[in-house]
Structure 1
């Protein structure tokens, strides 16, 4: 998939709605060679997906060894909207708290007082900094069950149509 095709998918209205959410599922290969899929907060900046983690996180060693990742962002309603993304993770060690980390939790339901307390806790906990996990999408697919379906379902529908017309 070329870069323009990827961004054509990511610029669709449903994709933009999904990219405005707070949580994605990050899939990567652990150091022991087994797969991992974890929920993680993220921010979309128009060209990359940025996640943040602690400097002592075990996923960092795994991502250094194998930076290939997959992301899933979806809804909890029927029919679901699902955005699938693949890319390569780059690790960016930063002092302090990345702006994206504070941004990506902005839609969580908390009062102004709770937000102040949460931010103070974050700054206290990550006082020596964090690591930004930056993913540039190299492949993307939107499944909205209106205009796009999973490829296996599309194939089954085509076979069903062929049977009905035979």
Structure 2
């Protein structure tokens, strides 16, 4: 997929709505070779998905071994809106709490007082974190209005051919 195609998909209004959500599902291959998919908070900086995790997270050795990842960001309504992204995870170990981690937790419903308490707890628990940065190398938006899963698109095409035969 060409970079301009990825940009066009990610700049669509529905994609932008999805990229403003709190959680993505991060899929990767674990060290034992089996697949994993974990929900994780994220933020979109306009060109990359940034997720943050503990320095001792089990996913880190797996991502160092095989950085290929897939992300799913979707809605819980019918019809769902789904943004699928593939890329490579770059790991960036940082001291303290990355600003992205504080941003990505900013949309949870917390009072100002709860937010202060939460941030103090986070700062006392973590001496550093790992930023997992994914630059999209492939993207697909499925909204079930203008775009469909590729298998469903194929069925629609086959039905049209049958009807016009």
For 1:135, what is the secondary structure of its paired residue? strand
Write out per-residue CA displacement over residues 131-154 of structure 1, whole angstroms, 9 at most, x where no aligned residue.
000000000000011110001001
The within-5 A match list for 1:146-157 is: 146-157=145-156
What secondary structure is seen at the aligned counterpart in 2 of 1:50?
strand
The aligned length equals 165
Query: Separation in 2 of the partners of 1:54 and 1:164?
Result: 55
Task: Report the CA distance between 1:116 and its aligned residue.
Answer: 1.0
Shift of 1:165: 2.2
**Match in the other structure for 2:115:** 115
- Output the CA distance in 2 between the equivalents of 1:137 and 1:62: 19
TM normalised by structure 2 equals 0.98
Q: Does 1:92 align with 2:84?
A: no
For structure 1, the 5+ residue unaligned runs are: none
Q: Residue in 1 aligned with 2:80? A: 80
Secondary structure of the 2:106 match is coil
Structure 2 counterpart SS, 1:55: coil
Partner of 2:33: helix, strand, or coil?
coil
Q: Is the partner of 1:25 in helix, strand or coil?
A: strand
Deviations 1:95-123 (A, max 9, x none): 00000000001111111111111111111
Give the 3-state SS of the residue equivalent to 1:62 in structure 2: helix
Cα distance in structure 1, aligned partners of 2:19 and 2:60:
23
CA distance in 1 between partners of 2:159 and 2:3 (Å): 34
| C-alpha distance in 2 between matches for 1:89 and 1:165 | 46
Q: Give the 5 Å matches for 1:1-166.
A: 1-126=1-126, 128-166=127-165
- Report the Cα offset of residue 162 of structure 1: 1.6
Q: Where in structure 1 do 4 or more consecutive aligned residues deviate above 3 Å?
A: none
TM-score by length of 1: 0.98
1:39 Cα shift? 0.2
Structure 1 position 25, deviation (Å):
0.1
Query: Shift of the alpha carbon at 1:19?
Result: 0.3
